[in-house]
A and B are shown apart, each in its own frame.
Chain A
Amino acid sequence: MAGVAKKDVVLQVDNLKKSYGPVTIVENFSMKVHAGEAVALTGRNGAGKSTVLRCLVGADRPDEGTVTVNGTKVTETNPEIRRAVATVIDDLDFFPDLSVVEHLDLLARAHGLHEPDALVDEVLEEVQLVPQAGQLPSTLSSGQRRRLALATAFVRPRQLLVLDEPEQRLDVEGVAWLGERLKAELDGGLAIVLASHEPALLQAIGARELRLEGAR
């Protein structure tokens, strides 16, 4: 998170438009997210929250408009963007032959951390996956897989965190933990954009809410 002062604009979206065939999912969508700020996209199912998030991380290409992170235009394959943006959206996959702890170790090392053991252990403990450290992902429950997905975002350097309904499949304690963790991330200067249906979570992190109205 080094190099970004609080109040710096981390994410800027200008006039985003995305359509699927004749249906316009989102149009004229603009926003700025500063370091240390959380923005929550809310709205009913199909309102376009996930579509916007996918455009923010470059998973989908917007039909119009621009998305920049730290002034660099977002393209999914740009290593600079990949280094800055940690993402937990619905398309995360896991290596079938690597255990939970090996996934975290690999990601931390790939991001240049030389001795990641302490950080990996800390995150593993936080997401309560210590007993499952040696398990292969296909044997995890859906809630545990969700925790592993969240752990992959916390084990690496990041300036912007993009989360799609992170509370999904988490138990009550899990949602409370997530709120505390995200609050701590904000205090450390991280920018967060999330889509959520969980008012308690949004309240816990004091997120600015943007309501999307959906397809036309």
Chain B
Amino acid sequence: MRDWRRGRADRNLWQALSDGYVMVFSIVVIGAMLVSSILQAQETAAVCDTDGCVAARGLLPWASVAGVLAFTLVVSRLFGPVAASAAEGFWLMDGPTDRRRILAGRLFGAIGAAGALGAAAGALIAALTGSGPVEIGIWALAGGLGAAGLIAFAAAEQGLDRHWIVTGVQWLIGAAAIGTMVLLVSGAAGWMDLGRLTLLAVELALIIAGVGLLLVVAAGFLAYRRLRNIKRQRLTSGGSLISGLQGAAFALEFALIRDILVEAKARQRGHVRPTRGLGHGTTALVMRDVQRLWRQPLPLVTLVATIVVPYAVQALGLAMLNPPISALVLLAALVPFMNSLRVLTRTKGLQRCFPFDPGQLRTAAMIVPAVLALLWTVGAFPAFLGVAGGVATDPVSAASAALVTGVAGLLGAVRWVSAKPADYSGPIVSTGVGAMPPGLMFSLLRGIDMVALITLPIVFNWPAWISLIIALIAFSLLRSGIDRDSLMDQQAEQKRMLEEERARRSGAPAAGKQKIQVQRKR
């Protein structure tokens, strides 16, 4: 297959890069911005020189790398980690082919990719927290080898068609990440003396790297040996998920990517114990969202865990950036509660079944997430007061900052979930990477734009009411669902009515009165 593909390649790597000069240019620009951000963060971190702040800074890479490792396991469980396309499953795996020969490259590729991405993430986190070059290298090693080792371990378990150990490890690492964040806040607030704990940071990174290396070798060997045992269904389900996600990713449709993952999860679950609804009218929709909380409590646990973020950010001395950073985290945590809103806004078919106008429907679907955002805001309020270290502020300013953060997170999530995809039926712009609709690049910023718009006045030290007015305008736009298509429709309708009125006044005959071609009664 490889020979077949190479024989038909019509471009070399350099030509492909030349064609994609816009992408290369973008990568260079984004890279420069990233380096500049790292340098700025290092300057900010250098200002944070109290014992508590330094302790908190030392713990941040622990929590972040644990988060990266937990995420690695989530991704590996989703896709396999070893996957095959439906075509390979149908054409190759039915025949007398050696499955290990087909899959070995894929296994090593997955381990290598996880290693590279984990190393990049580890290095980035260490750099952003003001670490020196040696520490950055050690955390890169920990992130890279840790992620690669976990992928090898997950692949070895895939060969036995066993899930529970990987799931257990994933939960353990996730709990470690959250626990470390809590430690970080407690240390920074002075509630707990971290003592020599932070001095172990580099040693711990070396331990993670060592365990990761061991897993890469041992679990990698086991995974290679078990490649022949992986069931075809497990290989192809991951493959079809990847191909579905690729399509959505090329269109930068992140909400669609989530839809595909939610569908895959629903297919995996298959069946639920039905519960009787409550209330009637729009209340029925709201109560169904409440019942969803019982059915799927995990997002609730995640939301509660994210309350630690504003405390941690404040403790690190980044008070000014706390509203946008925490609002982005809240945005991500609120999206799983917006399944109703997502389905009711992505196609009009189901929306049409309900006897309400779109504004009423959207409002009903926003109520539960809004209540959760409010509770989160109340929980995060002491962070903005500075009770957990960092800059202390007066109650009114802290309440304003917390409220703006909560509202920005909520409206950002609403925008992320309900924004229309790029319109491919309109004008297309010619670029170096091919033709693309003008709205495509904005897909990347969906939701983030709302957070930036609402929290920037706070960042610039402007009065909080400016943020709240912007939020009010944003809410009314998001609630009504006014978009470019609706506006164009309204404009077209008004134009049509105007023309009809003109025709009526000038006495011109109305449009044709002809009946359709054939009518017959059975």
Contacts and interface: CB of A to CB of B under 8 A. Distances in A.
Interface of A: 15, 17, 27-31, 57-59, 61, 64-65, 76-79, 82-83, 86-87, 89-99, 101-102, 105-107, 109-114, 117, 133-139, 152, 156, 202-203, 206-213
A103 B63 CA distance: 41
B301 interface: no
B277 interface: yes
Q: Which 10 A-B pairs have the closest CB atoms?
A: A109-B284, A91-B349, A92-B349, A83-B355, A28-B514, A211-B518, A96-B266, A93-B347, A93-B350, A136-B266
A147 to B, nearest CB: 16
B458 to A, nearest CB: 35
A207 B517 CA distance: 17
30 contacts: A15-B510, A28-B515, A58-B352, A61-B493, A64-B511, A65-B511, A82-B355, A87-B353, A92-B349, A92-B353, A93-B350, A96-B262, A96-B339, A97-B262, A97-B272, A106-B277, A109-B284, A110-B355, A112-B281, A134-B271, A134-B272, A136-B266, A139-B266, A156-B353, A208-B522, A210-B518, A210-B519, A211-B518, A211-B519, A212-B516
Question: Interface size bucket, B side?
Answer: 35 or more
Contact of B354 (A82, A99, A114, A203): A82
Contact of A57 (B270, B352, B358, B513): B352
A194 to B, nearest CB: 13
Contacts of B352: 57-59, 76, 82, 87
Contacts, number: 165
Interface stretch (B66-74, B288-296, B408-416): B288-296
Instruction: Among B273, B348, B516, find the residue whose CB has the most chain A CB atoms closer than 10 A.
Output: B516
Interface string B272-306: 11111111111011001000100110000000000
A1 B284 CA distance: 22
A93 B280 contact: no
Instruction: Among A57, A64, A83, A136, find the residue whose CB has the most chain B CB atoms closer than 10 A.
Output: A136
A97 B295 contact: yes
B520 interface: yes
A131 B448 CA distance: 44
Interface of B: 259, 262-263, 266-267, 269-282, 284-285, 288, 292, 295-296, 339-340, 343, 346-350, 352-358, 360, 489, 492-493, 496, 510-522
Contact of B279 (A64, A79, A109): A109
B340 A95 contact: yes
Contacts of B269: 136
Instruction: Among B281, B288, B360, find the residue whose CB has the most chain A CB atoms closer than 10 A.
Output: B288
B486 to A, nearest CB: 9
A133 B492 CA distance: 44
Nearest to B264: A138
A41 to B, nearest CB: 9
B281 A28 contact: no
A79 B357 CA distance: 5
Nearest to A48: B516
Instruction: Among B276, B278, B339, find the residue whose CB has the most chain A CB atoms closer than 10 A.
Output: B276
Given A97-B266, A134-B273, A61 B516 contact: no
A202 B522 contact: yes
Nearest to A206: B522
A28 B513 contact: yes
Given A77-B358, A96-B263, A138-B266, A15 B513 contact: yes
Given A82-B356, A110-B355, A139-B267, A95 B339 contact: yes
Given A110-B280, A133-B274, 4 more contacts: A59-B352, A94-B343, A114-B280, A212-B516
Instruction: Among B280, B347, B489, find the residue whose CB has the most chain A CB atoms closer than 10 A.
Output: B280
